[in-house]
Structure 1
Amino acid sequence: MAHGASFPYEQVAEIGGGAYGTVYKARDMESGKFVALKSVRVQTDQDGLPISTVREVALLKRLEQFEHPNVVRLMDVCATQRTDQETKVTLVFEHVDQDLKTYLEKAPAPGLSPVHIKNLMQQLLCGLAFLHSNRVMHRDLKPENILVTSQGQVKLADFGLARIYSCHMALTPVVVTLWYRPPEVLLQSSYATPVDIWSTGCIFAEMFRRKPLFCGESEVDQLGKIFEVIGLPSEEEWPNDVTISKKNFPPLFPRPITDFVPEINEQGAELMLEMLTFDPLRRISALNALEHDYFKEEETQVAKGNDIERNKSQSLSVT
């Protein structure tokens, strides 16, 4: 981790601010290349570094050695002591021009083609299978945290909430933007990697709809919106360790996903429902999703410009 006054990056523009700090586009003054700087001002412990940032950096460094094509690259880390109690930590990432949210907004009507959506989904799942095989969950997947290069390459970004996990453990409930949060997080139950699959199912629907699938205004409202689509779960499926009762919701039956995502084909609808499954233990995994029939048809078109098999074997070989 680089410390000290010499900071070889020149800020060019602010890209955006998240809950965890501001992101800037900058120029590497040595190479002239653009990079993305994620700066966080942090309260420090007696050793001068915040534990959450240390965790994020260690995680990114560990993943970096695999150079996965669908995970954003961490190029440098700089820490500048501001006061005894505060340090400015700057993570330097490769710069990607746009996120998936912008990419969907910029797509001319009627939106992305089904083949294009399939290609993006396949890359997203390759990145996710790689993370999950390394015992890492992202926990905040949403279109703003998925980058798309000008060549159409998908890169998962912003691992501020990622966390090496061990089995099912109760972690902070304040994760994952409300609209992409799975039921187990909304109910404050225990969770693991299936949280990312639920978020991916929501993003899958959004690629077709060009607007979010579930737009709740509170945790309970969000659950209500979810049950309007997938139906109210049975008593057996409802987790025991939660404060919100099933009685808070009217009895609702599942509706066909094509009522909400009319352009999707039969295999795509099937995969989407396997991602949007209430019980996390029955939700499809990223690796199994990559093997789904949805990706088998028109395989040559889908694989164009994307070395899928290499990605998958890489994600399998790093466990």
Structure 2
Amino acid sequence: MPPPATSVGAGAGGLPPDSPAAWEDVQRREMLARLKREFFMPPLVDNPYTVNHVVGEGAYGVVVSATDTRTGEEVAIKRIVCVFDEPGESTRILRELKFLRLLAAHPNVITLRDVLLPADPSTFNDVFLVFELLPSDLSRVLRCAHLVRLSVAHKRSIMFQLLRGVAFLHGSAVYHRDIKASNVLLDDDCRVRICDFGLARALLPGTAAPAAGGPAWTDYVATRWYRAPELLLSPAAVAYSTAIDVWSVGCIFAELLCDGAPLFPGVDRQDMISRMAALLGVPSAAYISGVADVAARRFLASIPPPPPV
């Protein structure tokens, strides 16, 4: 069973009141209180939700736990801010909404419940997405491995559900492109939901995949620790397949087996490649000669072979 989500900002009660950490904690609590108070400002049309607490915040916006006053059900609401400031961002949000709607039938894909509308269309600049609320994600569970140890049965079940969900995406010609432990949500019975389709892409009928000469998807792909070698070796990311998602799933599997220790915790692109070579071996000269990126090719050639076992 996943550990309960920890309230953000808790845990500084024992600090001296005049310490920098205590001051930072007070500031953070005030910020979270302000985010909660201003979450539904400006007002929305027919808004039946009341905010309980802030779950997380970042450059994208804020996520809160809320209650549907009509049913008493708890939900998660994600407010994505300033979606029209850049055309690329508004396109990404629209694409994510389409994926969430079209893929919602699968039990291992997060369910989008609602999209809230502003009372005044002229002030429409933020998007409010209402999701089912899940208490934890796999990243949090793995960080708490010293407190809550997953059994072999739990690990098998999580991997089975994750692979089933990814197989459904690929069978629907969808590349997720950001599979990682924090995007694998878990309920109290360890049922898996894949979330965050902001980087996902679909292979339209009659279109070749990037790896087969199709259109290049050149924006940011995959969080570094879960990034496949072909993405690291080709910064432009012009030729890859659904295998990049499978690689990410494999990295998650390794984390499960190692109680949360990441497989390739590289600090940058070169460090990632070095760690992969140390564990998996240096690629052959024939493979290296086929790497298009000159800098990557030179770096691969400079890596010494690992010492014999």
Aligned residue runs from structure 1 range 24-63, under 5 A: 24-44=64-84, 50-63=90-103
- Secondary structure at the aligned position of 2:271 is classed as helix
Residue from 222, 239, 249 that aligns with 1:176: 222
Partners of 1:86 and 1:145 in 2: how far apart? Answer: 28
Partners of 1:107 and 1:245 in 2: how far apart? Answer: 36
Residue from 246, 258, 266 that aligns with 1:197: 246
One-letter code aligned to 1:192: S
Aligned length: 251
Structure 2 residue 293 is the aligned partner of structure 1 residue 245: no
Q: Deviations over 1:221-250 (max 9, x none)?
A: 111111111112123334543243333141
Aligned residue runs from structure 1 range 148-227, under 5 A: 148-165=186-203, 166=207, 167-168=209-210, 169-187=215-233, 188=235, 189=237, 190-209=239-258, 210-227=260-277
- Secondary structure at the aligned position of 1:119 is classed as helix
> What percentage of residue pairs aligned between the two structures are identical?
37
Aligned residue runs from structure 1 range 1-319, under 5 A: 4-18=44-58, 20-44=60-84, 50-64=90-104, 67-80=105-118, 87-108=125-146, 111-165=149-203, 166=207, 167-168=209-210, 169-187=215-233, 188=235, 189=237, 190-209=239-258, 210-238=260-288, 239-249=290-300, 250-253=303-306
Q: Deviations over 1:93-118 (max 9, x none)?
A: 11100000122233456932333211
8 Å contact from structure 2 (residues 45, 116) kept in 1: no
Highest relative contact order (Cα 8 Å, sep 6+), 1 or 2? 1
8 Å contact from structure 1 (residues 79, 88) kept in 2: no
RMSD: 2.8
Relative to structure 1, the CA distance from residue 143 to residue 54 in structure 2 (aligned partners, 3 Å threshold; closer, same or farther) is same
Relative to structure 1, the CA distance from residue 164 to residue 120 in structure 2 (aligned partners, 3 Å threshold; closer, same or farther) is same
One-letter code aligned to 2:129: L
Structure ID, larger Rg? 2
> What's the offset of the Cα at 1:37?
1.1
One-letter code aligned to 2:196: D
One-letter code aligned to 2:293: V
One-letter code aligned to 2:218: T
> What's the offset of the Cα at 1:132?
0.8
What 5-or-longer segments of structure 1 have no aligned partner?
A: 257-319
One-letter code aligned to 2:202: I
Partners of 1:94 and 1:110 in 2: how far apart? Answer: 24
Partners of 2:148 and 2:106 in 1: how far apart? Answer: 32
8 Å contact from structure 1 (residues 232, 254) kept in 2: no
8 Å contact from structure 1 (residues 81, 88) kept in 2: no
One-letter code aligned to 1:106: C
> What's the offset of the Cα at 1:71?
0.8
What 5-or-longer segments of structure 2 have no aligned partner?
A: 1-42
Relative to structure 1, the CA distance from residue 86 to residue 237 in structure 2 (aligned partners, 3 Å threshold; closer, same or farther) is farther
8 Å contact from structure 1 (residues 147, 157) kept in 2: yes
TM-score, normalised relative to structure 1: 0.71
One-letter code aligned to 1:69: P
Relative to structure 1, the CA distance from residue 224 to residue 86 in structure 2 (aligned partners, 3 Å threshold; closer, same or farther) is farther
Partners of 1:245 and 1:31 in 2: how far apart? Answer: 56
Relative to structure 1, the CA distance from residue 109 to residue 75 in structure 2 (aligned partners, 3 Å threshold; closer, same or farther) is closer
